Chains A and B, each alone.
Chain A
Amino acid sequence: MNTLIQDISITSAAGAVVSDGEHSWQDLSAFGFGYQCPDVVNDVVAQMQRGGLSSRVLMSRPMLQLVEQLAQLTPEDLTMTYLCNSPDEAFEGAIKLARGHNPQRREIVVVGQADFGCMTYSRAMSWGGCNAADGWGVAVDLAFVPFAEIAALEQTVTARTLAVVVNPLEQLPELLLLGREQAQQIRQVADRHGALLIACELQTFGRCEGLFHSLVSGLSPDILVYGEALGGGVLPIGAYTARRCVNESVYGGRNLALHGSTTAGNPASCAAASAALKQMAARTEHEVIRRFAEVTSIAAERLRRVLAGSGIRVSTGPAALQLTLPGPSAAALAERLRQHGLLVWQRGNALRLSAPLLMTVSQWSDSLTVVVDFMKHTQANTDKELV
């Protein structure tokens, strides 16, 4: 749980800025879309007048148009999309599909440390399995391998493996984006043993050219999970898109109630997603991605110089920057940044900033400058105990 912000009662928000009526912050705490985008809000409100949720007896044109659009945006061969009420449910649904596809296999191999969501299986797979022993338990064995260490992966994946799960952005201990060669090697390892490859792009979605890092890296997953930004900062929605043959091996010719939810893919959330995708089309153009990367890289270099000798490591991801501290004091640092108008993500000794998709390059640059100046100040003064 994010104890840093649970005491804040938000009353308004716009773009990247949230406010409690007295204070305002740039919300850099999640890989989100941003808030109150007028185009998304207007489309959702219009749909709510016609019917926000659906009776589901008749077909839903907003949903069917959205799933066709997503088939065109996701990597080739991924065509069947299941829309969910949340990103958490989308990842869980992907694992359920994989289990149904390979019911005789009993192991899932997770590559790297990342956040896969709040459901039971997701939690067990998150953060290198540190929660796996806690709680209800899962009916599969879980194995974890370091991010993109192909030799370790080769040794771990076997004929027992039903799926290899990879989040293309490792989040702990540092941000690290999956490279093209590694992506292809992971695909090959999964193929060699007949395991499905699940790419969880809950964090990278909307931050890479063509929306998905799987497209940039050539990861070529069997199931692609995404969400978070898909709801346009207005309504929760998540999705997975799978190869038709995988989907049909489990759900084809079977009762449609085998998998489904009363409210998933409702018209209002589909309206939000369609409007959000229009906004993201501009955000994921090559030039915009390049400028965000450039600004992030410059700030990272400045921070490395400022923090030289402190033991703090600086890493970057798509429109994201992370500080990994040598000691467990990232919470105090995050709290100080909050006082400087920035809400950041923190876990253990890591602290991360990521730009919402509605943030402009100059706003992102300004936020990073606040961080650089703040760190410069702490290094030059008695605040060193913070780090």
Chain B
Amino acid sequence: MSGYTGLYDQCDQYWNTSAAKIYRISHKTAEAEAHGAEVVDENGRRFLDFACSYGVFLLGHTHKQIVAAVTEQTLTLAMRPAGTRHPSAIALWNALQPWLPPSMSGLHFAHTGSECSEMTLRLISHRSPDRRRIVVAENGYHGKTLAALDIMGQSGHSALFGASPAEVVRVPYGDAESLNYAFQEPVAALFLEPVLGGPFITVPPAGYLQMARDLCDTQDSLLVFDEIQTAFGRAGEMMECTTQGVSPDLLFLSKGLTGGCAAMACVVSHERLSETIASLPEEFGNPRAGQPVACEAGVAAIRVIEEENLIQRARESGAYLRERLLAVTAPYPEIILDVPGKGLMTGVKCAHPGIELMLLMGMDKQNIHLGYSLNEAAAHPVLRFYPPLSVTREQIDRVADALASVLAEVAARPAFMRRFMNWFTKHKYGFPDWLYKLA
């Protein structure tokens, strides 16, 4: 592993010192290539990817059909001048449209989900200049750029960067009473993830999304669904909002949108907002985003989802994965508190961040990547199991069996060791450099 000292040093000197510490202490290698559900490092070691970059690699890595589409488009016309159009955007709209709730009529491009949040906040202010109240879910996540941080539901991110200019009310996710209470004052908009994501995976009670729609309707407030994690089959449906029959005013899509082959995000708008959008002093969307390569990736990805019947497969695989996770974690209620989730948006809710890290390290030794929360402030973080939608039963069995053995190892450790790991996890970025090098 000493062959990677140079890369650890590069990481430390030129990019991110905290990342360098983590790479160094965990003896990480470098990625060489990735195909399907496997990531291969430069030494030829193969990892089963149940992290999938928090959902980006929904269709696995370098899916042949999508790579073929992006290659062809890259060779033809990768980028267009900012502000011009390209037929691929229309093709993407045509592919998306059948899966959207009724009356969604506008497609507006951005580079990232954060940018979707920022442009939406500007639209909300333009539409309701006298209403400053925005309601979001506690532990919700809508990006980390400065304006997006204003509506961040997770603690710890925004404290460093100053106060929000708006009145942002955070309500416990899924709690109808709290949501009702937040609407006692005029609300400009409500932001919700149809299934709360990140390290807090929570499925809302039945009727919660419809109640949100009804509350917004009574006040003419905007309902924004952030489906960046849930859509395209991750939570077992193409779109959660469509399946539940609840039309948002604005819908965020990204991550799985391009099948893991390009970076792109978009906001889909309801037709009732057409006039408001047309009256904006700026374009609603980034004129440099939605480039032909990314749009073609999106078209190919949706085609693959349809042709390979991946939504149905995700439902079945998701049910099987949760069943196996529930079975292997049941003997350890002091370590694993729950297996929350829906479809293939699932994971194990850990007793504390130290447990999460121990499981992550144990699974890594078994050549399995999981979605680490990177959130030591979460009391009970969910270690995410986000495989590609095409995951096989054999792969699920391999992961569940590995988890069983890692859980047995963790449970066998003395309690003080687990407490030490929790302390270490919470302080792991703050030790002196020599300690990481020693490790």
Contacts and interface: CB of A to CB of B under 8 A. Distances in A.
Interface in B27-48: 28-34, 39, 41-42, 47
Contact of A250 (B10, B77, B156, B160): B160
Interface stretch (B120-128, B202-210, B312-320): B120-128
A266 B293 CA distance: 15
Contacts of A190: none
A56 B30 CA distance: 10
A18 B80 contact: yes
Interface in B96-131: 111-112, 114-115, 118-119, 121-122, 124-126
Contacts of A57: 28, 31, 39, 47, 49, 51, 369
B6 to A, nearest CB: 9
B340 interface: no
B227 to A, nearest CB: 15
Given A85-B112, A136-B121, A71 B13 contact: yes
A35 B74 CA distance: 11
Contacts of A96: 145-146, 161
Nearest to B375: A257
B357 interface: no
B18 A64 contact: no
B363 to A, nearest CB: 11
Nearest to B4: A59
B426 to A, nearest CB: 10
A290 to B, nearest CB: 28
A261 B282 CA distance: 25
Interface string B290-333: 01010000000000000000000000000000000000000000
A343 interface: yes
B78 A10 contact: no
B249 interface: no
A103 B286 contact: no
Given A10-B86, A64-B7, A236-B111, A86 B165 contact: no
B74 A54 contact: no
Contact of A59 (B31, B82, B286): B31
Interface in A8-32: 8-13, 18, 27, 29-30, 32
B25 interface: no
B263 interface: yes
Contact of B288 (A12, A41, A86, A266): A86
A189 B384 CA distance: 49
A13 B81 CA distance: 10
A381 interface: no
A5 to B, nearest CB: 5
Contact of B15 (A6, A80, A261): A80
Contacts of A64: 7, 10-11, 14-15
Interface string A37-66: 000010011001111111111111101110
Contacts of B61: 51, 55
A7 B85 CA distance: 7
B246 to A, nearest CB: 25
B309 to A, nearest CB: 24
A301 interface: no
A268 B79 CA distance: 14
Contacts of A51: 31, 33-34, 61-62
A368 interface: no
Contact of A1 (B19, B23, B125, B287): B287
A120 interface: yes
Contact of B147 (A60, A65, A121, A263): A121
A88 interface: yes
Interface residues of B, number: 95
Nearest to A233: B79
Contacts of A343: 81
Nearest to A268: B262
Interface stretch (B52-60, B179-187, B402-410): B52-60
Contact of A256 (B22, B70, B79, B164): B22
B87 interface: yes
B56 A263 contact: yes
Contact of B51 (A7, A29, A55, A63): A55
Contacts of B28: 57-59
B268 interface: no
Contact of B30 (A8, A58, A254, A263): A58
B157 interface: yes
A120 B86 contact: no
A96 B145 CA distance: 7
B261 A123 contact: no
A318 B155 CA distance: 45
Contacts of B78: 35-36, 41, 44, 233-235
Contacts of B32: 50
Contacts of B79: 13, 35, 231, 233-236
Contact of B18 (A2, A118, A256): A256
A17 to B, nearest CB: 11
A119 B147 contact: yes
A45 B31 contact: no
Contacts of B262: 52-53, 268
A253 B31 contact: no
Interface in A52-101: 52-61, 63-65, 67-68, 70-71, 79-82, 85-89, 92-93, 95-96, 99-100
Nearest to A60: B31
B299 to A, nearest CB: 16
Given A51-B62, A92-B145, A120-B146, A67 B22 contact: no
A55 B10 contact: no
Contacts of B22: 256
B166 interface: yes
B144 interface: yes
Interface in A96-154: 96, 99-100, 103, 106, 118-121, 123, 131, 134-140
A1 B288 CA distance: 11
B16 interface: yes
For the complex of A and B, 5 pairs with smallest distance between CB atoms: A263-B263, A135-B122, A120-B147, A2-B83, A257-B374
Interface of B: 4, 7, 10-11, 13-19, 22-23, 28-34, 39, 41-42, 47, 49, 51-54, 56-57, 61-62, 67, 70-71, 74-87, 111-112, 114-115, 118-119, 121-122, 124-126, 144-147, 150, 156-157, 160-166, 255, 260-263, 281-283, 286-289, 291, 293, 369, 374-376, 429-430
Interface of A: 1-2, 5-13, 18, 27, 29-30, 32, 35-36, 41, 44-45, 48-61, 63-65, 67-68, 70-71, 79-82, 85-89, 92-93, 95-96, 99-100, 103, 106, 118-121, 123, 131, 134-140, 231, 233-236, 248, 250-264, 266-269, 343
27 contacts: A5-B83, A10-B81, A32-B81, A41-B78, A48-B70, A51-B33, A52-B262, A55-B53, A55-B57, A59-B30, A63-B15, A64-B10, A68-B13, A87-B288, A120-B118, A134-B125, A135-B126, A139-B164, A235-B78, A235-B293, A236-B79, A236-B288, A251-B16, A255-B376, A256-B22, A258-B144, A263-B53
Given A10-B77, A120-B147, A134-B125, 4 more contacts: A10-B84, A52-B62, A120-B146, A248-B17
